[in-house]
Amino acid sequence: MYTILRIGPFIQAEWNHGNIAAAFEGNGTEYVQWAANMAHSTNIGVPWIMCKQKDAPGTVIPTCNGRNCGDTFVRKDQTKPIFWTENWTAQYRVFGDPPSQRSAEDIAFAVVRFFSKMGTLTNYYMYHGGTNFDRNGAAFVMTRYYDEAPLDEYGLLKEPKWGHLRDMHHALRLSRKGLLWGTPSYIQFSKSLEAWVYEKPDKKFCVAFLTNIHRRMDATVKFRGISYFLPRRSISILPDCRTVNAQHNKRTFHTAKETQEKNAWKMYKEPILKYGQTSVRTQEPQELFEMTKDKTDYVWYSTSFRIDDNDLPIRQDIRPVLQVRSFGHAIHAFVNGKCIGTGHGSKIQGLFQFSKPMDLKPGTNHISILGITVGLHDSGPYLEHRMAGPDKITIQGLNTGTLDLSANGWGHEVSLFGEKKKIYNEEQTAKVQWTDAKSGQPVTWYKRYFDEPYGSDPVSLDMSSMGKGLMWVNGHCLGRYWVSYLSPLGKPSQSVYHVPRAFLKPKDNVLVLFEEQGGKPEDILIMTVKRDNICTFVSEYHTAHSKSWSRQGGHIKTIAEDMRPYASLRCLRKKVISKIIFASFGNPMGMCGNFTAGTCHSPHALPIVEKLCLGKRSCSLPVTSKEYRADVNCSGTTGTLAVQAKCSRRKTKSKPQ
């Protein structure tokens, strides 16, 4: 349990207990009551709220977390306002997950729907993506955090999500008087068509939300004597109950020349510890979380045993097999100093079984297991009972049968030798002997020097050539990388990792890696990140831009001469539109970076867009069938313009000699 103090008239108790209360049966309800009483006993003097707690007791305000709280949250107490504390702008992603996106249109629809149904407050989670530096990521959570938010991990605008939400916010602000002081009423036109109206006749405040929740069918409704076209899954905002104000890019990475400069890697092999080299010895392997105490991800587990020739298989094609049952999160197994394999669990299922063949010799053999955590668990019941680390260890395939080593006597060593010596700090690197680097080396430290890439664009590392481990730049831990854990699509969940320029010096930055599995450090790329691909996706059935109106003297007034919808493109950081990658008018489909032309595509769209936009920092594009000479009678046309453009720095002419 912890408390978050926020700027505002409320304090949030972040229990999130509602989704786990069932695990505690009757005690769950008692706990929530105790928590509420404890909060109120502080006499702070402002309201308290509880996330995901529909039956919050007393005056504590229950709130919703999710994607569509306007439809999923049911208010039990009509005297309490409706809060949406976490509006998920993207998927909460862990290592092993495939890419996931939530469209700008879906977020905007959900927000407007929430406010149309008497919602009071919405809070985006997250509005700005980020990075889990150091070892701060929770169990299996990716180092990149909510990168699909309106502002991405690097702080770059993610269009059209950022711009679409900005315009939606403006439309809602124009409706604020009706929402705040109007009396709500509800009109149902049909099963999928409805209206929410907020009106105060004596003050002439009125706002209406006309909604079409059907996912496939457009519709037209008549409201107060006027017909309104409602596209599928859309909400039209009428801030004066008459005027429709609103219905409801791909980033690129560029290899820096500094990648190849000073690309001389050195390595230090982390010692693979035997039983006699460990400092903590017990009969059985100890639990991993208890050993690490969140000070490190790593613990060595080691044991030794003797066998003779009669124990070994007689046939050459049969090899003994090491089997390890582990509660998580991952292990690397070594037999007589040789790595035989890796095993790991997942966010959903921590427990896993490791089974790999190995070579044994007559006499004494040594087994060393590097137990690994990938963060602490962040939610769920009975967190105090969560376990990790190897538990049951056996050797199968011996002539004398199964050899159980679970109580053979185990040595433990918390942390790596390199961690203890802090060799990731430049001033400490001399504490070990570095040699010329070789590829494919497990449990190995690597280092190189590089200069800061030119310019001001964000910097990142492409770690596609590596496996799993930790990264440091100038002693700052960049977090965990795990490229070898592939999603169901056969690709890493994350291969590019953020390097803040605040961590860098102009010259001689030291990059240090601890690689657990083996990789090719010479193929690591130092990248600069650019949001050079920009997109727009607008239909002629949309309304004009939300900033075409303003509220003047209690009335909604137009402040633009042309009230038709238009599409806009704008480059940032003194760049201009250098190329139109895609342009289609008709019924294009897809998202930015993956647009495709539909069956009603007009071939005139590309040259028209090129003429209007190339060489300019920004451009406005008309959105009408006439402008693009499109077939208005084409079956399936949505009258939509989709454009993807590339931004580049304007080329400067060289001065004559």
pLDDT tens, position by position, 129-188: 999 999 999 999 999 999 999 999 999 988 778 888 988 998 899 899 999 999 999 999
Chain mean position to CA 471: 19
| Same domain as 398, residue 310 | yes
* pLDDT for position 250: 57
| Same domain as 503, residue 568 | no
Residue 180, domain member (yes or no): yes
Calculate the CA dihedral of residues 440, 444, 449, 454 and round it to 10 degrees.
60
Residues 212 and 193 sit within 8 Å (Cβ to Cβ): yes
| Same domain as 235, residue 205 | yes
Strands 183-188 and 193-200: antiparallel
| Same domain as 386, residue 309 | yes
CA distances from 112 to 222, 244, 413 (A): 20, 14, 55
* pLDDT for position 192: 97
Give the pair of three-digit tokens for residue 570: 């704008």
Tell me, what amino acid is at 300?
W
* pLDDT for position 301: 99
DSSP alpha helices (H): ranges in 139-262? 161-174, 176-181
What gap in Å lies between CA 153 and CA 170, rounded to an integer?
25
Q: Which CATH number do you get for residue 553? A: 2.60.120.740
| Cβ neighbourhood burial of 185 (10 Å; 0-12, 13-18, 19+) | exposed
Residue keyed to tokens 């060393």: 368
| Same domain as 435, residue 333 | no
Residue 35, domain member (yes or no): no
Q: Which of 400, 415, 430 is the last residue of a domain?
A: 415
- The per-residue DSSP string of 233-248 comes to TEEEEETTSSS--EE-
- Chunk the chain into consecutive blocks of 10 residues (it has 657) and report each block's average pLDDT, rounded to whole numbers: 48 69 84 88 87 87 94 92 94 91 91 96 94 97 94 88 88 90 96 96 89 93 93 90 67 72 92 98 98 98 96 89 98 98 96 97 98 94 94 96 97 98 96 97 98 93 98 98 96 97 97 98 93 83 52 49 70 88 93 86 96 95 94 91 90 51
Q: Which CATH number do you get for residue 181? A: 2.60.40
Q: Which of 415, 444, 470 is the last residue of a domain?
A: 415
Residue 315, domain member (yes or no): yes
| Same domain as 283, residue 410 | yes
- What is the helix (H) or strand (E) element at residue 441, kind and residue range? none
| Same domain as 262, residue 304 | no
Q: Which CATH number do you get for residue 467? A: 2.60.120.260
The total number of structural domains in the chain stands at 4
Residues in the chain, overall count: 657
Residues 482 and 342 sit within 8 Å (Cβ to Cβ): no
- Residue 480 lies in domain: 255-269+421-529
Residues 577 and 614 sit within 8 Å (Cβ to Cβ): yes
Residue 146, domain member (yes or no): no
Number of H helices, E strands in the chain: 8, 42
Query: Other C-beta atoms within 10 Å of 343: how many?
Result: 19
Chain mean position to CA 447: 29
| Same domain as 263, residue 320 | no
| Same domain as 375, residue 429 | no
* pLDDT for position 15: 62
| Same domain as 290, residue 408 | yes
DSSP alpha helices (H): ranges in 389-497? 417-420
What gap in Å lies between CA 181 and CA 184, rounded to an integer?
9
* pLDDT for position 23: 86
pLDDT tens, position by position, 420-449: 999 999 999 999 999 999 999 999 999 999
Calculate the CA dihedral of residues 253, 257, 261, 265 and round it to 10 degrees.
10
Eight-class DSSP state of 268 = E
pLDDT tens, position by position, 109-140: 999 999 999 999 999 999 999 999 999 999 99
Residue 95, domain member (yes or no): no
* pLDDT for position 610: 97
CA distances from 91 to 94, 107, 147, 163, 459 (A): 9, 12, 10, 20, 24
* pLDDT for position 204: 81
* pLDDT for position 555: 53
What gap in Å lies between CA 321 and CA 394, rounded to an integer?
8
Residue 66, domain member (yes or no): no
| Same domain as 396, residue 292 | yes
Query: What 3-state class would DSSP assign to 472?
Result: strand
Residue 128, domain member (yes or no): no
What gap in Å lies between CA 71 and CA 211, rounded to an integer?
13
| Same domain as 316, residue 263 | no
Q: Which of 529, 551, 581 is the last residue of a domain?
A: 529
Residue 458, domain member (yes or no): yes
